Amino acid sequence: MGSCNKSSSTPDTEEGNWVKRGQFDGPARAGAVSFVINDTAYVGTGINKNATGNYVDENGNLLLQNGYLKDFWKLSMPPVSTGNDQTGYTWTQVEELPGTFRAYAVGFNIGNTGYVGTGISSDGINFLRDFYAFDGKVWTAKANFPGSARAYAVGFGLGSKGYITTGFDGANTVKDNFSYDPASNSWSPAQSISGDKRRGASSFVYKNKAYLFCGYSSSSYLNDMWVLDSTTLKWTQLRNITNTSSDSYDDDYSDIYRQNASTFVIDGYGYLTAGDQGGTLISKTWRYDFANDVWLRRTALERTQRTGAVGFTVRNRGFVGTGVYGSSSYLEDFQEFMPNQTYEAND
């Protein structure tokens, strides 16, 4: 089993430092969702197969069923980074998600509204396509996602619309793409990537473009990367994430591709960490340069390796938390990545 202590080994690179930001106040979990509205991060749903007991809200409503969760929490934190000081990072419970308990759903924001939909239900068999909006206080049911019910999809807000694409529907991996218009509460088919169908893919959103990459097809881990422009609404393929050139920059790119990873954006760079590949957990962190379509290794995620964790950006600061180590060690810690610090083994 992994330890929640900071790793004593030196990472492959010492560029950047991971700093503890306390524990999530809800039950430990994997397969949760997150979104950010009004400079506040929200985290909820997910699975913890070890969780038992009568977990209810203040009105007696169940928040846990068969290890699947529907609770939601918001993060309060200092307005600027506090270095290695953990003081001031607290979680407060908010109204739970309506509908059924679920894990591996999607969460994203369009403007100052958060959205959650799809996922796998608490029976572990049925997949979902219901969809909800959250204004910071109240959830509202919205038009169901029109594609097949699924989990392990990718969801993101881009411009004035939201998108849900790829995933696994219980029988097949898929890659169809649909856009949601909050003004009309309606869905429309959107262009899909030209690459393989996949589940557990990752994404960034930066400067009116969405980036989708990696994930697992029916037989292999994928190394392609695509960008969707909010103006043209067409996907364009970027460099494959593999060693295809005679230059040295991509020699270690095989460390990048994975499924169920965590992402965030800081100072115009995308960051990828955690996840798994072929049954092996991955803690290696990579920075993506949007301007030059190049990846650079950064300090690996410290403390416990994990997959199915959440990642988000608040006020240009990147966080990763929760997830699962092995098959049953569910996690509740959160860490912030400090890109301009040097790795410190003892913080």
pLDDT of residue 12: 67
SS3 call for 146: coil
Per-residue model confidence as pLDDT tens for the chain (347 residues): 333 444 434 456 779 999 999 899 999 999 999 999 999 999 999 999 999 888 999 899 999 999 999 999 999 999 988 788 888 999 999 999 999 999 999 999 999 999 999 999 999 999 999 999 999 999 999 999 999 999 999 999 999 999 999 999 999 999 999 999 999 999 999 999 999 999 999 999 999 999 999 999 989 999 999 999 999 999 999 999 998 888 888 899 999 999 999 999 999 999 999 999 999 999 999 999 999 999 999 999 999 999 999 999 999 999 999 999 999 999 999 999 999 998 988 77
Beta carbons within 8 Å of 193's beta carbon, 6+ residues apart: 165, 166, 175, 177, 212, 226, 235
Q: How many domains does the chain have?
A: 1
pLDDT of residue 52: 86
Q: What angle do CA 91, 111, 259 make, to 5 degrees?
A: 65
Ordered strands of the 113-117 beta sheet: 106-110, 113-117, 131-134, 139-142
46 occurs within a structural domain: yes
pLDDT of residue 310: 99
7 occurs within a structural domain: no
**Number of DSSP helices (H) and strands (E) in the chain, helices first:** 0, 31
Q: Give the separation between CA 45 and CA 48, rounded to whole angstroms.
A: 10
pLDDT of residue 5: 42
pLDDT of residue 62: 96
Q: Give the separation between CA 41 and CA 327, rounded to whole angstroms.
A: 27
The alpha carbon dihedral of 265, 259, 283, 247 has a sign of negative
Give the pTM. 0.95
Residue type (1 letter), 38: N
DSSP character at residue 301 = P
110 occurs within a structural domain: yes
Residue type (1 letter), 117: G
Helix (H) or strand (E) holding 18: strand 15-23
Dump the DSSP string for 69-121.
Answer: EEEEEEEE--SS--TT--TT-EEEEEPPPSSS-EES-EEEEETTEEEEE--EE
> CATH number for the domain including 299?
2.120.10.80
DSSP character at residue 216 = B
Could you count the other beta carbons within 10 Å of the beta carbon of residue 67? 19
Is the distance from CB of 281 to CB of 325 less than 8 angstroms? yes
5 occurs within a structural domain: no
250 occurs within a structural domain: yes
4 occurs within a structural domain: no
Dump the DSSP string for 223-279.
Answer: --EEEEETTT--EEE---SS--SSSSTTTTGGGT--BS-EEEEETTEEEEE--EETT
- List the domain range (segments joined by +) for residue 235: 30-337
Q: Give the separation between CA 22 and CA 335, rounded to whole angstroms.
A: 8
Cα 338 to chain centroid distance, Å, stands at 19
pLDDT of residue 268: 96
pLDDT of residue 84: 84
Q: Give the separation between CA 276 and CA 295, rounded to whole angstroms.
A: 18
Could you count the other beta carbons within 10 Å of the beta carbon of residue 99? 17
Could you tell me which residues are beta bridge partners of residue 116?
Answer: 107, 132
342 occurs within a structural domain: no
pLDDT of residue 11: 57
Q: Give the separation between CA 307 and CA 323, rounded to whole angstroms.
A: 5
Q: Give the separation between CA 20 and CA 204, rounded to whole angstroms.
A: 23
262 occurs within a structural domain: yes
